[in-house]
């Protein structure tokens, strides 16, 4: 039995506090199918999210499940399934793969024939077997809703919450979904609560819960709905609700509920449809009928996989998604191959040699002045070229880092939140992102450094230079991953990430020196400065180093400090990304 007792949910602060739910007290036995209806904004979806434990706000009241107070002990991830309005599957995967990954992320020991059998059983249960090899991106709306239900059935939840899963569907698809939900409620003693705007299938439900501005206006059999609201057919229900204040409807139901249901259903009706404060004084009589059938013998809830297993599954899934995203592959190849060419084109035939000054005694004063002037001009050009090549590499790598991760979490935030509700470990999720992004960072940075070194004949310690290029790319990738975890949309995350890259060049001091107070404040946050400085420090054994020092106006930091700061950016970025993934966004 799912038992809600005086559930109230407040949102807002101070004088703006208002209730989204008000004293909701209802109960649903196992094997029960309930429609939750009411005008838009009346709290239907909020009620489901409150039951699932993902509603934002201050809650009052209690929720009990099979005699267990969920205020003291929450649902385990396997006990409850929540199907939101949005898609919870990656477009690049097939239907069978989506169900397979759901099983691997929720049930320990899934693999081989056992996994194949489970996938086949679930797809058959939702009538999706024939679509097993079809990509999600080509599915119809109704097929995507059935896939979402299939993914939730991976853990065999005892409670299934469906939030407007029939919204926007054609009549035939709507019929199929309602029939499917009805069948699922009859399977394994499952409670199925479905938020819907459609009143076409009320006869398919065991009960109908009517909400008006967060309050219960009716909870009883669908066949008596019109009688209670005194309307000719259920389609007139919403206009009838507008005839009285929500508080009046709520008080009226509390007052007349017992008499109304007893008249319609007999003296035992209150055992199901009573408010929770009216507890029966004796043990309830033996229930009869399909709706009130006792639950089957409790099957053991599936054991969730450990964090490492989830990490492996997520990593494999991420690489598979990337391998099927042709646009992303072309973009990455374009960046990896094209950006180094843009850098090298400025010194395609190699860096110019540094000419020596004539130091002989036979050189007259005028000739010596001319040579000095030529040396200064040449040195300025060479020094600017060397510094510019390094900074150009660094800036382009920060741009690639922003592109790597700016949308990585925000773009699939809703899918991740849904999987987290189902038991996904956020640390496993972040670790899988780290592995995938590390491959991109290494490919981009190593090719950039090697190409420029070979084509331009760039001097200095190549391994150390490659390390700094990898670190600046990794630092920006990590910071933008953190931004992606904090933003509400991929567009916001991408915009903020691009702005961050835009600040790198002017605030690095590589082009124009910053005022001392500005540099001391901003420089710790500018990864480009530390990589640029670190790479230039590798030229100390070369003549180019002294020349570069004469043209730049910003002091270079020691190599050890540059390494420490860039590594700090990476660690802090990943930590903030992990914190961002801990926050609940689904509600």
Q: How many Cα atoms within 13 Å fall on the side-chain side of residue 424?
A: 25
Domain shared by 267 and 342, yes or no = no
The whole-number pLDDT of residue 408 equals 95
Count the domains in the chain. 2
Domain shared by 257 and 320, yes or no = no
Q: What is the pLDDT along the chain (587 residues), one digit of tens a residue?
A: 899 999 999 988 877 788 899 999 998 999 999 999 998 889 999 999 999 888 888 889 999 998 888 877 788 888 899 998 777 899 999 999 999 999 999 999 888 999 999 999 999 999 999 999 999 999 998 899 999 999 999 989 999 999 999 888 888 989 999 999 999 998 888 999 999 988 888 999 999 999 999 999 999 899 888 888 888 887 888 888 888 888 899 898 888 788 777 766 666 555 556 555 544 434 443 443 444 444 444 445 688 899 999 999 999 999 999 999 999 999 999 999 999 999 999 888 777 765 554 555 555 666 556 555 655 556 677 888 899 999 999 999 999 999 999 999 999 998 999 999 889 999 999 999 999 999 999 999 999 999 999 999 899 899 999 999 999 999 999 999 999 999 988 999 999 999 999 999 899 888 888 888 888 899 999 999 999 999 999 998 888 888 888 888 888 999 999 999 999 999 999 999 999 999 876 65
Tell me, yes or no, whether 409 lies in a domain.
Answer: yes
Residue 160 belongs to what domain range? Answer: 2-90+97-273
Contact yes or no for 563/471 (Cβ under 8 A)? yes
Domain shared by 315 and 249, yes or no = no
The structure tokens listed for 395 are 């800036």
Tell me, yes or no, whether 488 lies in a domain.
Answer: yes
Domain shared by 334 and 380, yes or no = yes
Tell me, yes or no, whether 290 lies in a domain.
Answer: no
Domain shared by 41 and 140, yes or no = yes
Domain boundary among 273, 298, 322: 273
Tell me, yes or no, whether 278 lies in a domain.
Answer: no
Q: What region, left, alpha or beta, does residue 94 occupy, with left being phi > 0 and alpha being psi -120 to 50 degrees?
A: beta
Tell me, yes or no, whether 487 lies in a domain.
Answer: yes
Domain shared by 400 and 522, yes or no = yes
3-state helix, strand, coil in the chain (%, to 5): 60, 10, 30
Cα–Cα dist 423/538, whole Å? 48
Domain shared by 249 and 321, yes or no = no
Domain shared by 239 and 321, yes or no = no
Domain boundary among 224, 257, 273: 273
Domain shared by 266 and 312, yes or no = no
Burial class (CB within 10 angstroms; exposed 0-12, middle 13-18, buried 19+) of 226: middle
Tell me, yes or no, whether 297 lies in a domain.
Answer: no
CATH code of the domain in which 12 resides: 3.40.50.300
Tell me, yes or no, whether 75 lies in a domain.
Answer: yes
Domain boundary among 213, 248, 273: 273
Domain shared by 258 and 148, yes or no = yes
Task: State the pTM of this model.
Answer: 0.87
Domain shared by 261 and 318, yes or no = no
Tell me, yes or no, whether 284 lies in a domain.
Answer: no
Q: What angle do CA 238, 221, 286 make, to 5 degrees?
A: 160
Domain shared by 236 and 337, yes or no = no
Kindly state the DSSP code that residue 94 receives in the 8-state scheme: B
């Amino acid at each position: 039995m799912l038992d809600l007792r005086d559930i109230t949910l407040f949102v807002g602060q101070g004088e703006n506090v208002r209730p989204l739910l008000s004293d909701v007290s209802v109960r649903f036995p196992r094997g029960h199918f309930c429609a939750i209806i009411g005008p838009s904004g009346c709290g239907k979806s909020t009620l489901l999210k409150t039951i699932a434990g993902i509603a934002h706000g201050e809650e009052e009241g209690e929720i009990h499940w099979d005699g267990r107070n969920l205020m003291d002990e929450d649902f385990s991830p396997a006990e409850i399934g929540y199907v939101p309005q949005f898609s919870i599957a990656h477009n690049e995967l097939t239907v069978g793969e989506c169900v397979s990954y759901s099983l691997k992320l929720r049930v320990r020991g899934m693999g081989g024939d056992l996994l194949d059998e489970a996938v086949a059983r679930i797809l058959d249960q939702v009538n999706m077997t024939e679509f097993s090899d079809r990509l999600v991106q080509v599915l119809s709306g109704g097929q995507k809703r059935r896939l979402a239900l299939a993914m939730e059935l991976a853990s065999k939840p005892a409670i299934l919450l469906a939030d407007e899963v029939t919204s926007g569907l054609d009549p035939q698809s709507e019929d199929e979904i309602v029939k499917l939900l009805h069948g699922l409620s009859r399977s394994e003693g499952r409670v199925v609560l479905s938020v819907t705007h459609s009143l076409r299938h009320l006869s398919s439900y065991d009960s109908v819960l009517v909400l008006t501005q967060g309050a219960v206006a009716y909870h009883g059999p669908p066949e008596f709905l019109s009688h209670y609201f005194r309307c000719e057919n259920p389609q007139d229900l919403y206009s009838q609700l507008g005839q009285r204040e929500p508080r009046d409807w709520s008080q009226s139901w509390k007052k007349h509920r017992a008499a109304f249901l007893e008249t319609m259903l007999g003296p035992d009706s209150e055992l199901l449809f009573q408010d929770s404060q009216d507890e029966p004084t004796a043990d309830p009589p033996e229930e009869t009928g399909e709706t009130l059938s006792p639950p089957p013998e409790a099957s053991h809830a599936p054991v969730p996989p450990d964090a490492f297993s989830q990490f492996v599954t997520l990593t494999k899934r991420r690489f598979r998604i990337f391998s099927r995203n042709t646009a992303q592959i072309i973009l990455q190849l374009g960046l990896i191959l094209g950006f180094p060419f843009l850098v090298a084109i400025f010194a395609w035939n190699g860096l110019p040699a540094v000419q020596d000054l004539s130091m002989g005694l036979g050189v007259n004063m005028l000739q010596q002045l001319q040579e000095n002037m030529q040396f200064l001009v040449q040195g300025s050009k060479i020094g600017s070229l060397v510094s510019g090549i390094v900074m150009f590499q660094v800036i382009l790598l920060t741009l690639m880092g922003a592109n790597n991760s700016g949308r990585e979490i925000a773009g699939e935030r809703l899918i991740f939140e849904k999987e987290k509700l189902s038991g996904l470990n956020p640390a496993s999720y972040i670790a899988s992102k780290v592995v995938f992004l590390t491959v991109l960072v290494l490919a981009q940075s190593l090719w950039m450094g090697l190409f420029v070194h070979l084509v331009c004949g760039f001097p200095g310690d190549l391994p150390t230079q490659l390390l700094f290029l990898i670190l600046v790319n990794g630092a920006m990738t990590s910071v933008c991953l953190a931004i992606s975890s904090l933003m509400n949309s991929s567009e916001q995350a991408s915009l903020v990430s691009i702005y961050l890259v835009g600040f790198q060049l002017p605030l690095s001091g590589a082009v124009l020196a910053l005022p001392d107070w500005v540099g001391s404040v901003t420089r710790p946050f500018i990864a480009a400065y530390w990589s640029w400085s670190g790479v230039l420090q590798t030229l100390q054994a070369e003549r180019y180093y002294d020349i570069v020092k004469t043209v730049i106006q910003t002091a270079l930091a020691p190599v050890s400090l540059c390494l420490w700061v860039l590594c700090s950016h990476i660690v802090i970025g990943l930590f903030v990304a992990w914190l961002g993934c801990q926050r609940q966004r689904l509600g």
